[in-house]
Structure 1
Amino acid sequence: MRDKAAVHRTFTGHHMLNVMAAFFAVVIGVNVMMATFASRSWSGLVVKDTYVASQEFNSKAAAMRAMAASGISGNLSLSHDVIHYDIHNRDGSPATVQDVTVRFRRPVGDREDFQLVLTKKSEGRFEVEHHVRSGDWIVEIISRKKDVTVMQEAVRIDIAEFGR
């Protein structure tokens, strides 16, 4: 009779099949999880029509160079659910602008994106009251005078909930 302590177990084909099945189950499970996260968090849309965007690139680049050469600059700030935007000339004097629009976009996804028109408080000073949720945002600011874009800029900001 065999002694139970002396029984030696061997690694069989069934063991190898179980190891391989477990390995591939983990790999497939992780891939499904990552694909689900990716499809829920990013629209994948950068531009609606890449051909049209490529045709407009040179004219947009020239307009941006002209805006940079004008010396007009802006400053975006947020405090206590009020969004402030100050725009001034190269010499520091307030720039003459009629309306300012801000577009808040999440870097990933478009479910929380929104656009606001700021109210003119004084020459070169605009603001609007709106609660902005915490996290990372890309803010595009467009300033116009008589339907002509005077300044267009985009800034990336991080809003911390505890600092409000």
Structure 2
Amino acid sequence: MSDYPITGGKGFTGRHMLLIMLTFFGIIIAVNMTMAWYASSSWSGLVVKNTYVASQEFNKKAEAMRAMAMSGVSGKFALHDGLIVYELHNRDGSPAAADEVTAHFKRPVGDHEDFVIELPKSHDGHFEARRRILSGDWIVEVISKNQGTTVMHEALRINTAGFVQ
């Protein structure tokens, strides 16, 4: 007789290995599919509509931004209890000339809550409008024009959490 007890089972078989491998790769595939679905449903990935045209216009836009920086015009953006305020000043602190200010509110991820609002002029260099803004992160692109010419163009990242709206 043998010193080892005899067992009735077959032990670890090829069927066991197959089940382990199918379970392992099934979990990996399920996680990857879930992450791919969340990635594609939460961000459009669209930065510009046509990358070729955007690349051709880059130098013109860069030159315009340099000219804007040299002009000395600066803007100040603020939110006060649902009131959007934007002020434009020249280098010496005097109000800058502008007749049109537009604020484009964009979420950093997704575009379903984005909106554009015109800020009417309340007095020289001071523009404001009332609008309820949802809590969270926003990228605000403010474009100021005077007689159709862009005076100031800036983008700000803000967080409205904690603001009373």
**2:150 partner letter:** T
| 1:110 counterpart residue number | 111
How far apart, CA to CA, are the structure 2 residues paired with 1:31 and 1:123? 55
The CA deviation at 1:163 is 3.5
Contact preservation (8 Å) 2:105, 2:115: yes
The reply to whether residue 69 of structure 1 matches residue 70 of structure 2 is: yes
**2:40 partner letter:** S
Alpha-carbon RMSD across the aligned residues, in angstroms, is 1.6
How far apart, CA to CA, are the structure 2 residues paired with 1:80 and 1:8? 77
- Unmatched tracts of structure 1, length 5 or more: none
How far apart, CA to CA, are the structure 2 residues paired with 1:72 and 1:45? 31
How far apart, CA to CA, are the structure 1 residues paired with 2:49 and 2:153? 20
Structure 1 segments, 4+ long, off by >3 Å, are 5-9
How far apart, CA to CA, are the structure 2 residues paired with 1:138 and 1:20? 46
Instruction: Calculate the TM-score normalised by the size of structure 1.
Output: 0.91
Q: Secondary structure at the match of 2:120?
A: strand
How far apart, CA to CA, are the structure 2 residues paired with 1:51 and 1:32? 31
The reply to whether residue 139 of structure 1 matches residue 140 of structure 2 is: yes
| 2:160 counterpart residue number | 159
| 1:31 counterpart residue number | 32
- Unmatched tracts of structure 2, length 5 or more: none
Contact preservation (8 Å) 2:105, 2:139: yes
The reply to whether residue 122 of structure 1 matches residue 123 of structure 2 is: yes
Instruction: Calculate the TM-score normalised by the size of structure 2.
Output: 0.91
